[in-house]
Amino acid sequence: LRNKCTKSKNMTKVIERHLWEEFREYADEIRHTMEWKEIYPQRKETIERVFADCKENNGLRFTRLKGLKKNQQNAWLIFACHNLKKMSLWRGKYRRKPSKNSIYPSKYTKKDNFISKIAYIQ
């Protein structure tokens, strides 16, 4: 039986574990809990949507620049614009009701319009 198990001269078998194997096992334990199974589907609603939107609409599928630094700066600009877009959509969604005495619907209208214009520049 030893001959099938090992071919070393001193007839011992050494099993090496990866440095992070303990953390992988812990992550697997968490992954199989009921709490995780409830939370994980929310990922596609929040995190994955950002990357999918940037990939499809903002050209993150392929790089057009040479060099890591230039591509990082390009990605940072795209994500900054994406955050501005989210802010403008959020502010439009939760905007105050217009008052009767004001010319503008709210005191933030000019700023909201400015952010909206920036967010939709393509």
Q: What pLDDT is attached to residue 118?
A: 56
3 residue type, one letter: N
82 touches 53 (CB < 8 A): yes
Residues of the chain with pLDDT under 70: 1, 94-122
Q: Is the pTM of this model over 0.75?
A: no
For tokens 């009767």, what's the residue?
A: 100
CA pair distance 117, 88, nearest whole angstrom: 9
CA pair distance 6, 59, nearest whole angstrom: 53
